[in-house]
Structure 1
Amino acid sequence: MTIDNLEQGFFGIGIQNGKTPENLGVLWRSAQNFGANFIFTIGNRYEKQASDTHKAVGAIPYFHYNTFEDFYDHLPKGAMLIGVELCEEAESLEKFDHPRRAVYLLGAEDHGLSSAAKEKSHKLVKFSTPLSINVSVAGSIVMYDRNLKGPVIY
């Protein structure tokens, strides 16, 4: 089997200003199961996650950024920033084509993504739900959808 690193792609997932360490730990656990290449937080920082029973933070690189601007300055080259946000301008996840190199950003459940995050996102996606859902559940659904459909070349 020949491996072409340019064709493999990668993805990371993280939360901006997460509210609870439990949600973060569950998201990390899902990230490990769904093959994320890295995880991150912006703003609020939690060191140890009781809900991360698989110890994903030790198995997947973890990055922390104090501000969205700091995070955005370190976005991997060639990666598309995909904001997950329940807003009118977001595409339906059911019809969304995942890019090969993606960084998924989720907002806190009570405030969502910052204005800067929404403006700088290359794409915004949402679910077909009438109300917002738990942030770790939302991230898990996005990763499941990516694995189900597979990424496309952008």
Structure 2
Amino acid sequence: MIDTFENEFFGIGIQNGKTPENLGVLWRSAQNMGASFIFTIGNRYAKQACDTHNAVAAMPYFHYDTFDDFYKHLPKGAMLVGVEMDERAEPLETFHHPKRCVYLLGAEDHGLSKKAIEKSHRLVQFSSTYSLNVAVAGSIVLYDRGIGKPRFIR
């Protein structure tokens, strides 16, 4: 069977997440917004009260020890979209989400690693005076994807 890359999917994860509570809130949003999978890079996920829907049991969850390990396992045909306050980032308000993509957020205190920014196919940010809680930022990106904006076809 030939894969024509017509099917749509997305995953979302955090690089070096600071707190398990942020992961739980993001996973709950990911499950509600239709994510295909969730993941962490660096710090491991620990079950805690914020993942009240038990998203980790409801959808595939992956953990990668390093960014390089994560990057070599990107799904075929998927674009890596880094969510980062950066002058090179496209505004979320006009961003056309790829049909097949993986969203990557960084920890609140350090953001994405330099390597993650360099390897991202696209960078996206939204209007905000200050950085937001990582779970809130990820939820906003997922909501924006779900409101029916046109998709970018790779």
**1:139-150 matched pairs, under 5 angstroms:** 139-148=138-147, 149=149
- 2:77 match: 78
CA shift at 1:49, angstroms? Answer: 2.5
Greater Cα offset, 47-56 or 96-105: 47-56
CA shift at 1:5, angstroms? Answer: 7.9
Q: What amino acid does structure 1 have at the position aligned with 2:62?
A: F
After the TM superposition, list the runs of 4 or more consecutive aligned residues in structure 1 that deviate by more than 3 angstroms. Answer: none
Aligned length: 151
Task: Structure 2 unaligned segments of length 5 or more: list them.
Answer: none
3-state DSSP of counterpart to 2:6: helix
CA shift at 1:55, angstroms? Answer: 0.5
Check 1:125–1:134 CA distance in 2 against 1; reply closer, same or farther (3 A cut).
Answer: same
2:53 corresponds to 1:54: yes
Q: How far, CA to CA, are the matches of 1:123 and 1:134 in structure 2?
A: 21
Aligned residues: CA RMSD: 1.3
3-state DSSP of counterpart to 1:138: helix
CA shift at 1:150, angstroms? Answer: 5.0
Identity %: 74
- 1:11 match: 10
CA shift at 1:7, angstroms? Answer: 2.5
2:145 corresponds to 1:152: no
- 1:94 match: 93
3-state DSSP of counterpart to 2:101: strand
Check 1:23–1:150 CA distance in 2 against 1; reply closer, same or farther (3 A cut).
Answer: farther
Q: How far, CA to CA, are the matches of 1:49 and 1:57 in structure 2?
A: 11
Q: What amino acid does structure 2 have at the position aligned with 1:60?
A: M
Q: How far, CA to CA, are the matches of 2:114 and 2:129 in structure 1?
A: 22
* TM-score (normalizing by structure 1): 0.94
